[in-house]
Structure 1
Amino acid sequence: MDIIHATFVGALSGVLGTGAGGLLILLVNFGAGAGLSFLLAASGGIMISISLMELIPEAVEVGSKGWAALGLLLGVIILFVLDMVLPHAHSSLVVRAKSGVYHGERAARLRSAGLLIGLGIALHNLPEGLAIGAAYAHQQSLGLGVALIIALHNIPEGMAMAVPLRAGGMGRGSVVLSTMLAGLPLGVGAFLGAWVGQVSPTVLSVCLGFAAGAMMYVVSDELIPEAHFCARGEYPTIGLVAGILLGVLLTLVL
């Protein structure tokens, strides 16, 4: 039953996250970037807190330092490889598109670009889903927390996918539906993570370490750089510190 719950939570996290990003593109102008910058950095801060204060200590407790370290390393390496070989979405695409970079492009090419970005998001969501499933297999509240943060992380990715789709003439409903579908693989990853995590304490230790490594790679490679791209000044720093403090409070309370 826990596996079914983890799968549902993972799928819901993906669908709501990328779907919200697609919807926001249709409703809100993010040209200024300050709000998005703060949210990206804050999400990164929360992910850092959860990784350092929850996932890694739990990985060591249920297994050993060695297995936890192995999982951590695997999480970083796998996300790094995926980042190199797959097309990926960054919130900077949203800013550039709002500035008119896509003007004059053929509609078919724009739609193809949006779908390609969606494919990259979908494939990247698989290991992120593993993080949800592994955390859920150990503790339900931890899995829910990881799912929430990954959903927030997926909002700008849904935005980046929606921009070229909408600019290419795709209808509003189709844009939102497409971004939601790109988040579904989170459910597949969550299923695998929860199932594998229940095999043995050693496997669970590796999976929890993997979740921490994957999340910290996402923070360092995507969230923090993109937060600085969206807005200069103190917004990214304030957001990061606020996110870390909020993550610490959530860890102590939950």
Structure 2
Amino acid sequence: MRTELVSEPGERLRPNEDFASVALPASGLGGALVVLDGVTPPRGETGCLHSVPWFTARLGGALTELSVSSRDLPLPEILSRAILRTAEAHQSSCDLSHPRTPQATVILARWSTEAVEYLILSDSALLVESPDGTITAHLDDRLARLPRSALTTDALIDSTLRNKEGGFFTAAADPTVATRAVTGRLPRSDVRALTALTDGATRWVEKFHEGDWRDCFTFVRKEGAQALVDRVRELERADASTRTYLGRSKTHDDATVVHVEF
């Protein structure tokens, strides 16, 4: 097995809000990967004393531990328990009902000798390569399917869409959100490799149109995860003045890529 992990903040002087881990249990018979993209809140009150990196570190740590220590539990239950554990760590000091309480997108994948399971919540991507070279992108596209007119202000998003039916969901303080995740199970023999990317890295496909998901996977395999992030940074800098592709998005976003070959 070969693994590669790269995670970079969008700005050098700002903490990276992403989290990534790969866990290989001592048995050598399986493993798990976790990728979180912390949601940067707008300026103003969040109801919480803690930062987004504080939250992603604790949620990501809980997901990593539970994925390898509780292999009998389905992934939604693991996410639910990890959210609850994280919420309990600050519920006495923070208002966890606030719509901007710290939160994150989630990719969780776990493999054994028999199967590969996956869970996706919000706008990160999991690419799966089959033995014949086919690349399948597993996505939670609810946010992408919303009309741009519904996303004009943070207040509108928070009141009508964020963690609401008909909108989109992220991992925050409510453990029941785990039932909203996109999940699946594949025979282990049908999977040759996995690549997980936060939306700072999926810009290569989704904003700058350098290629499709297959091209993105091939780039990571041949050039490496760091090369993909470096290329995204080049494209961001080139578009910073005209904003032809970036539009209203931040110029640089935290970018994480995890690649696993079996």
- Calculate the TM-score normalised by the size of structure 1: 0.26
- Calculate the TM-score normalised by the size of structure 2: 0.26
Q: Which fold has the larger relative contact order, with Cα–Cα distance below 8 Å and residues 6 or more apart in sequence?
A: 1
Higher strand content, 1 or 2? 2
